[in-house]
């Protein structure tokens, strides 16, 4: 259940920062260019692409060395190959380049690395593309365990005709696409769903909102055209993946053209929506790419009271298209913040390292990142990353281009370019 009390203080904070220019942190808030931002349609699977990363060096923040040159080197590895339409059975397609920022130098802790899938519990497919079906994916995910694919030597797209749902009796669910599988929602449905508080998926504890399992890992996998528009459970969001409870980890994966509802003050996560992670441990996102996402807020990532560690990843061309901010201004539906990332809550953290966030946009605040810790205990850390060209038509924090920040003190920034 979304706790509306988490955002009540935000109204006062943002109202003061945006309207009166007075009060704590108000001096940091500066209006961005008022150019309107229109809702970009999710790219078709045949036309999905990633904007290039910056190739020139610009001024660094906090006197640290710029990494824009290495970000430019990442551009070649961050472009997305065409992903043609297919039936619910797998269809061979052109190989995709590796996701993530190949020039990102962030160290990846053991807990954030890919899972060993050399001895899978179950395998989807019998060696042919046609054998890799939506029904097979749904069945395997429901059973849980370590899951791999055998869809033949060529990359395939599997169009999902139903959402794959993790059952809460599973301690571990690992989906490993081997770098050759794309799961597509065809613009019609969410692709993957985990909710420890969903009775239909079995309640296994009396504290579903702080449950250690299931532990869901997606790795070496692509998600395209997921769509959670109209989903209402837990407030919606999460066009590709919705995860409440347990643990979520994303490694070496690509998210293209995923979307959720276009309006709503606290609704977000065109690609991923996360709530109530076990033990307040972070969601890890490693060596992954997010492009072409569209949602009211947080067109790539969105959460309430969840911490994130994002390493060597790329966010480009994502759009927060809601209108009216959070809480919603009178006469508006609300939303429009965090072009790439939208985080709200109290004591949580966002750590970006070796990551490129470029060419994202927001109708309200934070073209790259919207970060609001209502009790001012949350922290933002940016290391060796590049955030450039992320406009918002409403508000940002002075000195932090593309970011709206309310948290504990100032963000910790080093070796990074913000422009």
The confidence score (pLDDT) of residue 210 equals: 83
β pairing state of 395-397 and 361-362:
unpaired
Tell me whether residue 82 is in a domain. Answer: no
User: Does a structural domain hold residue 114?
Assistant: no
In a domain, 202, yes or no: yes
Q: How far apart are CA 305 and CA 3, in angstroms?
A: 10
Instruction: Judge whether 211 and 246 are in contact, CB under 8 Å.
Output: yes
**Confidence (pLDDT) at 234:** 86
| pLDDT tens across the length of the chain (419 residues) | 333 333 333 333 343 333 333 333 333 333 333 333 444 443 444 333 323 333 333 334 433 333 333 333 333 333 333 344 445 677 778 777 899 999 999 999 999 999 999 999 999 999 999 999 999 999 999 999 999 999 999 999 999 999 999 999 999 999 999 999 999 999 999 999 999 998 889 877 778 878 899 999 999 999 999 999 999 888 899 999 999 999 999 999 999 999 999 999 889 999 999 999 998 999 999 999 999 999 999 999 999 999 999 999 999 999 999 999 888 898 899 999 999 999 999 999 999 999 999 999 999 999 999 999 999 999 999 999 999 999 999 898 999 999 999 999 999 999 999 99
Which pLDDT score is estimated for 299?
Answer: 98
Contacts of 30 (CB under 8 A, 6+ apart): 395, 396, 397, 398
What's the pTM value of the predicted model, to 2 decimals? 0.80
Q: How confident is the model at residue 90, as a pLDDT?
A: 78
Tokens of 373: 């810790």
Asked if residues 366 and 358 have their Cβ atoms less than 8 Å apart, the reply is: no
Tokens of 41: 């349609």
What pLDDT score does 242 carry?
A: 98
Query: What is the pLDDT, as a whole number, of residue 87?
Result: 53
Q: What is the pLDDT of residue 12?
A: 36
Strand order from edge to edge, sheet including 369-373: 164-165, 192-195, 241-244, 272-275, 301-304, 341-345, 369-373, 403-406
- pLDDT value at position 4? 38
Contacts of 82 (CB under 8 A, 6+ apart): 45, 46, 47, 48, 93, 94
The pLDDT value recorded for residue 45 is 42
User: Phi, psi at residue 368, to the nearest 5°?
Assistant: -100, -55
Pull the structure tokens for residue 109. 């802790």
Residues making up the chain, counted from first to last: 419
301: in domain? yes
Residue at 67 is within a domain: no
Dump the DSSP string for 15-79: HIIIII--STTGGGEEE------PPPPPPPTTS---PPPP-S--PPSTTPPP-HHHHHHHGGGGP
Number of domains in the chain: 1
79 φ/ψ angles, rounded to the nearest 5 degrees: -90, 145
Q: Considering the domain boundaries, does residue 326 fall inside one?
A: yes
Q: Is 138 helix (H, G, I), strand (E, B) or coil?
A: helix
Residue 194, domain member (yes or no): yes
3-state secondary structure 86-111: CCCECEECCCCCCCCCCCCCCCCCHH
**Is residue 75 situated within a structural domain?**
no
Cβ atoms of 50 and 291 closer than 8 Å = yes
3-state helix, strand, coil in the chain (%, to 5): 15, 35, 55
**Distance (Å, whole) CA 368 – CA 142:** 35
Range of the domain at 270: 138-418
Do 41 and 77 meet the contact criterion of CB atoms below 8 Å apart?
no
Parallel, antiparallel, or unpaired for β 301-304 and 29-31?
unpaired
d(CA 150, CA 125): 5
């Amino acid at each position: 259940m979304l706790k509306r009390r988490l955002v009540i203080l935000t109204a006062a904070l943002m109202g003061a920062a945006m309207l009166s220019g007075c009060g704590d942190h108000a001096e940091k808030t500066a209006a961005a260019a008022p150019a309107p931002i229109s809702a970009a349609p999710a790219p078709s699977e045949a036309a999905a692409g990633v904007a290039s990363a910056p190739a020139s060096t610009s001024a660094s923040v906090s006197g640290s060395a710029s990494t824009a040159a290495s970000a430019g080197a990442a551009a070649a590895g961050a472009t997305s190959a065409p992903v043609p339409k297919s039936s619910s059975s797998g269809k061979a397609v052109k190989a995709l380049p590796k996701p993530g920022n190949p020039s990102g130098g962030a160290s990846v802790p053991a807990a954030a690395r890919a899972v060993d899938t050399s001895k899978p519990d179950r395998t989807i497919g019998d060696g042919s593309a046609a054998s890799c079906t939506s029904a097979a994916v749904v069945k395997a995910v429901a059973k849980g365990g370590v899951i791999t694919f055998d869809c033949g030597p060529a990359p395939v797209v599997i169009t999902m005709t139903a959402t794959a749902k993790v059952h809460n009796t599973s301690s571990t669910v690992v989906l490993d696409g081997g770098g050759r599988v794309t799961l597509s929602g065809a613009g019609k449905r969410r692709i993957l769903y985990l909710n420890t508080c969903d009775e239909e998926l079995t309640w296994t504890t009396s504290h579903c909102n702080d449950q250690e399992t299931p532990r869901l890992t997606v790795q070496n996998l692509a998600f395209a055209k997921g769509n959670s528009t109209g989903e209402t459970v837990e407030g919606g969001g999460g066009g590709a993946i919705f995860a409440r409870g347990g643990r979520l980890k994303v490694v070496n994966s690509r998210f293209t053209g995923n979307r959720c509802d276009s309006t709503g003050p606290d609704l977000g996560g065109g690609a991923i929506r996360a709530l109530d992670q076990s033990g307040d441990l972070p969601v890890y996102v490693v060596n992954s790419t997010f492009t072409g996402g569209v949602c009211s807020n947080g067109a790539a990532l969105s959460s309430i009271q969840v911490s994130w560690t994002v390493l060597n990843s790329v966010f480009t061309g994502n759009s927060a298209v809601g209108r009216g901010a959070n809480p919603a201004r009178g006469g508006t539906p609300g939303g429009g913040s965090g072009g790439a990332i939208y985080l709200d809550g109290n004591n949580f953290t966002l750590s970006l390292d070796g990551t490129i966030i470029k060419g994202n946009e927001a109708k309200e605040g934070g073209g790259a990142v919207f970060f609001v810790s209502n009790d001012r205990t949350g922290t933002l850390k940016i290391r060796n990353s590049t955030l450039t060209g992320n406009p918002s038509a409403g508000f940002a924090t002075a000195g932090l281009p593309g970011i709206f920040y309310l948290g504990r003190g100032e963000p910790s920034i080093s070796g990074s370019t913000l422009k």
